[in-house]
């Protein structure tokens, strides 16, 4: 599974440079765009999950990769109990948020005064432990969904989009919109932005920064959990190791988007998803990571602050 | 002053040491309700350290901070803020991308159901919004309400900082050099604002280097030098105090 993005055909298109662009080529291209967007949507969610904690605390919570994986397992547990997908999604989000709260209290809070590498290492420790727990609870073989949660495809012009892809895309849009609303329009969001910009000043104004930090971790966890459920139902399978590769790519997405501006992920996520799927479809999966991470390095060489990064660093609003 | 009331703020023998260096030694100070008190002294005298101890940003090495008779010395900063002590900063510390309006909301405590915090603003506590409107008008910031703080000129930024500090209805306001870098007219405007705030029942402790401003505004002055209180009295008394003159001029000569 880690070898290919969702829905990527294993065969290459037969197009040769000399032949005219046929209807079939256009069909394949549009189909790949849809597949790329779906994968990119999942990357976006996890990248936002990383960014939220990074933006508020300046700390890379490496356990997010495993919160994503655990969210998938929680969702699967619900689906295997024959409950509907929305319940699975909520369970995945809530479960991952709860684990995120534990990570915050044990893996971050006690090390707040320490250099940033200390909480980062402790979240890495959590990451490995969580993966280990998942391996022991669910085994290292992929857990499969016996039958498809949603079947059916919708034709949009020459391309078709599966019901699952439609769910992945629309849930992502819904979650991103909710997050934007929460951050921009609610009092929790204002408190988050205040703590993100200047924790000390926020506290002197009466904002309980400790509680806001916990909320940031839990929000971040719920996004990762949702991504886990979505990718799980998309593949109809999940393994304890899914977080490692997808998580690293989501970090790349965050960096490409610009770590100082969390909404950069909205551009970088689909971009990386599409580049990855296109590379696999037209060139070959053997150079997929070369292209994805090569692109990351190239973008960073041209724009070290990322696509949307402002370069003003810590002075700017990060959340 | 009415002696039956406890002081709004009392510092009781506060000492603050960083390693072996004493930034403050045995500082005692009272601010009675409705008073405007000035804290002056040469650079490095411990004035801002005093603010940091009062607000809980620093933990006092020894001594007690009392707000209306209640010790707040070991409370975390956000609890001290909620108890009624707010401050402004010598170098303005606004949230750069937040609008003026948002600054007035973020500093207010959130009462009522926690769920409310997830709702859009129009569903949040009506009192919060009414209070923000009131403060916006008081500080004449209505025409910049939707401007991000970073786009405002310096003088307005100072006013937003004061407005932000006042919205949560503090009992004590700490102003750290409120007229630094301002011309005479701007300083006069701030003086008028401070007096109006006092009329509203607020007690104020301020740090300022502008002597004309301090002498005209404050009921009493406390003079610090090397973390030690060297004088306390009415402005006229302080002006004539040889120890103060020595602290300000002696070393410069």
φ and ψ at residue B205, rounded to 5 degrees:
-120, 125
Question: Distance between CA atoms of B161 and B87, rounded to whole angstroms?
Answer: 9
The pLDDT of residue B120 is 63
The pLDDT of residue A284 is 87
Question: Distance between CA atoms of A89 and A260, rounded to whole angstroms?
Answer: 29
The pLDDT of residue B124 is 61
The pLDDT of residue A152 is 76
φ and ψ at residue B8, rounded to 5 degrees:
-55, -50
Considering the domain boundaries, does residue A100 fall inside one?
yes
Contact A204 B57 (CB under 8 A): yes
Contacts of A96 (CB under 8 A, 6+ apart): A67, A68, A70, A71, A74, A221, A222, A224, A225, A226, A228
Considering the domain boundaries, does residue A105 fall inside one?
yes
The pLDDT of residue B113 is 54
What band does A314 get if pLDDT is binned at 50, 70 and 90? very low
> Distance (Å) from the C-alpha of residue B250 to the closest C-alpha of chain A?
36
The pLDDT of residue A4 is 44
Of B81, B96, B106, the CB nearest to A191: B106
Contact A204 B55 (CB under 8 A): yes
> Which residue ranges form the domains of chain B, and what is each CATH number?
1-84+170-253 (3.40.50.300), 93-169 (no CATH)
**Is the predicted pLDDT of residue A8 greater than 90, yes or no?**
no
CA distances from B44 to B40, B65, B110, B176 (A): 11, 21, 37, 14
Instruction: Supply B1's token pair.
Output: 């002053």
What band does A10 get if pLDDT is binned at 50, 70 and 90? very low
How confident is the model over A2-8, as a mean pLDDT? 44
- H or E segment and range at residue A238: strand A237-238
Domain around A114: 31-142+158-243
**Is the predicted pLDDT of residue B110 greater than 80, yes or no?**
no
The pLDDT of residue A2 is 42
Contact B168 A191 (CB under 8 A): no
pLDDT, one tens digit per residue, over A194-207 is 999 999 999 999 99
Residue among B183, B175, B184 nearest B208 (CA): B175
Q: What number of other Cβ atoms are within 10 A of residue A28's Cβ?
A: 20
B109 touches chain A (CB under 8 A): yes
Q: Outline where B84-183 has alpha helix (H).
A: 100-106, 126-138, 154-167
The pLDDT of residue A316 is 44
**Is the predicted pLDDT of residue A277 greater than 60, yes or no?**
yes
How confident is the model over A118-139, as a mean pLDDT? 94
> What's the structural domain count of chain A?
1
Instruction: Supply A9's token pair.
Output: 């055909």
CA distances from B110 to A34, A73, A246, B123, B232 (A): 44, 36, 38, 13, 39
The pLDDT of residue A317 is 47
Question: Distance between CA atoms of A77 and A91, rounded to whole angstroms?
Answer: 9
Contacts of A55 in chain B (CB under 8 A): none
Of B96, B109, B118, the CB nearest to A188: B118
φ and ψ at residue A144, rounded to 5 degrees:
-105, 145
- H or E segment and range at residue B204: strand B203-207
B81 touches chain A (CB under 8 A): yes
The pLDDT of residue B251 is 56
The pLDDT of residue A113 is 82
A227 touches chain B (CB under 8 A): no
Least confident of A78-82, B90-94, B114-118, B224-228: B114-118
**Percentage, residues of chain B above pLDDT 90:** 70
Burial B42-53 (b: 16+ CB within 10 A, else e): beebbbbbbbbb
Contacts of A202 in chain B (CB under 8 A): 78, 106
The pLDDT of residue A162 is 87
The pLDDT of residue A12 is 46
Least confident of A75-79, B107-111, B146-150: B107-111
Contacts of A317 in chain B (CB under 8 A): 95-98
How confident is the model over A144-160, as a mean pLDDT? 74
Residue among B34, B28, B37 nearest B1 (CA): B34
Contacts of B120 in chain A (CB under 8 A): 181, 185-186
Of B57, B121, B164, the CB nearest to A205: B164
Considering the domain boundaries, does residue A16 fall inside one?
no
For an interface test with B, the pick among A197, A204, A219, A313 (most B C-beta atoms closer than 10 Å) comes out as: A204
B221 Rama class: left (phi>0) / alpha (psi -120 to 50) / beta: beta
The pLDDT of residue B170 is 95
Question: Distance between CA atoms of A153 and A162, rounded to whole angstroms?
Answer: 4
Least confident of A225-239, A247-261, B54-68: A247-261
Question: Distance between CA atoms of B76 and B67, rounded to whole angstroms?
Answer: 14
> Distance (Å) from the C-alpha of residue B81 to the closest C-alpha of chain A?
5
What band does B250 get if pLDDT is binned at 50, 70 and 90? low
What's the mean per-residue pLDDT of chain B? 89
**Is the predicted pLDDT of residue A160 greater than 50, yes or no?**
yes
Considering the domain boundaries, does residue A301 fall inside one?
no
The pLDDT of residue A20 is 61
Considering the domain boundaries, does residue A231 fall inside one?
yes
Contact predicate A68/A227, CB 8 Å: yes
CA distances from B171 to A132, B82, B168 (A): 53, 10, 9
The pLDDT of residue B123 is 61
How confident is the model over A56-76, as a mean pLDDT? 93
Q: What is the ipTM of this complex?
A: 0.89
Considering the domain boundaries, does residue A185 fall inside one?
yes
Considering the domain boundaries, does residue A187 fall inside one?
yes
CA A152 to chain centre: 25
Considering the domain boundaries, does residue A85 fall inside one?
yes
What's the mean per-residue pLDDT of chain A? 86
**Is the predicted pLDDT of residue A264 greater than 60, yes or no?**
yes
pLDDT, one tens digit per residue, over B120-132 is 665 667 788 899 9
What band does A227 get if pLDDT is binned at 50, 70 and 90? very high
**Is the predicted pLDDT of residue A318 greater than 70, yes or no?**
no
Looking at chain B, which residue has its C-alpha nearest residue A197? B95
DSSP B148: B
Question: Distance between CA atoms of B163 and B151, rounded to whole angstroms?
Answer: 17
What band does A185 get if pLDDT is binned at 50, 70 and 90? confident
> Distance (Å) from the C-alpha of residue B94 to the closest C-alpha of chain A?
8
Question: Distance between CA atoms of B226 and B46, rounded to whole angstroms?
Answer: 7
Burial label, A13 (beta-carbon count in 10 A; 0-12, 13-18, 19+): middle
Contact A204 B81 (CB under 8 A): yes
Contact A203 B116 (CB under 8 A): no
The pLDDT of residue B112 is 53
pLDDT, one tens digit per residue, over B7-46 is 999 999 999 999 888 999 999 999 999 999 999 998 889 9
The pLDDT of residue A75 is 95
Helix (H, G, I), strand (E, B) or coil at A220: helix
């Amino acid at each position: 599974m880690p070898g290919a993005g969702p829905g990527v055909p294993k065969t290459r298109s037969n197009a040769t440079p000399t032949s005219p662009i046929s209807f079939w080529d256009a069909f394949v291209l549009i189909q790949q765009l849809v597949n790329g967007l779906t994968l990119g949507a999942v990357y976006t969610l996890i990248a936002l999950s990383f960014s939220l904690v990074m933006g508020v605390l300046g700390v890379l919570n490496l356990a997010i990769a495993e919160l994503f994986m655990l969210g998938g397992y929680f969702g699967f547990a619900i689906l295997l109990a024959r409950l509907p997908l929305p319940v699975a999604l909520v369970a995945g989000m809530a479960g991952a948020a709860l684990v995120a709260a534990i990570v915050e209290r044990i893996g971050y809070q006690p090390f707040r005064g320490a250099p940033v590498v200390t909480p980062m290492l402790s979240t890495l420790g959590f990451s490995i432990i969580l993966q280990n727990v998942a391996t022991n609870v669910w085994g290292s073989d992929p857990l499969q969904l016996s039958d498809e949660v949603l079947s059916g495809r919708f034709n949009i012009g020459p391309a078709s989009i599966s019901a699952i892809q439609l769910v992945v895309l629309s849930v992502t849009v819904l979650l991103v919109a909710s997050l934007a609303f929460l951050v921009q329009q609610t009092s929790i969001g204002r408190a988050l932005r205040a703590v993100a910009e200047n924790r000390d000043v926020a506290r002197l104004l009466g904002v309980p920064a400790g509680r806001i930090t916990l909320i940031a971790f839990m929000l971040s966890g719920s996004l990762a959990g949702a991504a886990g459920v979505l990718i799980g139902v998309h593949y109809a399978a999940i393994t304890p190791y899914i977080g490692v590769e997808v998580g690293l790519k989501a970090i790349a997405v965050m960096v490409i988007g610009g770590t100082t501006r969390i909404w950069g992920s909205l551009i970088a996520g689909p971009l990386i998803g599409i580049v990855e799927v296109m590379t696999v479809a037209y060139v070959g999966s053997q150079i997929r990571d070369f292209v994805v991470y090569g692109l990351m390095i190239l973008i960073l060489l041209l724009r070290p602050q990322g696509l949307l990064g402002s370069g003003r660093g810590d002075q700017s609003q990060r959340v | 002053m009415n002696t039956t009331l406890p002081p709004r703020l009392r510092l009781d023998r506060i000492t603050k040491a960083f390693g072996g260096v004493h930034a403050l030694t045995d500082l005692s100070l009272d601010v009675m309700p409705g008073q405007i008190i000035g804290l002056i002294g040469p650079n490095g005298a411990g004035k801002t350290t005093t603010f940091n101890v009062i607000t809980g940003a620093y933990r006092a090495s020894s001594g007690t901070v009392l707000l209306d008779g209640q010790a707040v010395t070991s409370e975390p900063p956000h609890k001290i803020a909620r108890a009624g002590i707010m401050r402004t900063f010598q170098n303005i510390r606004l949230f750069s991308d937040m609008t003026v309006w948002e600054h007035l909301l973020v500093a207010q405590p959130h009462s009522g159901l926690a769920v409310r915090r997830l709702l859009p603003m129009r569903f949040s506590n009506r009192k919060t919004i009414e209070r923000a409107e009131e403060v916006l008008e008081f500080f004449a910031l209505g025409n910049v309400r939707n401007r991000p703080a970073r786009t405002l000129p310096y003088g307005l930024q100072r006013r937003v900082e004061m407005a932000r500090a006042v919205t949560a209805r503090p009992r004590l306001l700490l102003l750290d050099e409120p007229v630094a870098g301002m011309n005479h007219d701007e300083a006069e405007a701030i003086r008028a604002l401070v007096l109006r705030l006092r009329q509203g029942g607020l007690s104020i402790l301020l740090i300022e280097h502008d002597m004309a401003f301090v002498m005209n505004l404050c009921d009493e002055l406390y003079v610090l030098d090397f973390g030690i209180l060297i004088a306390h009295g009415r402005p006229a008394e302080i002006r004539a105090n040889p120890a103060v003159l020595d602290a300000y001029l002696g070393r410069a000569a």
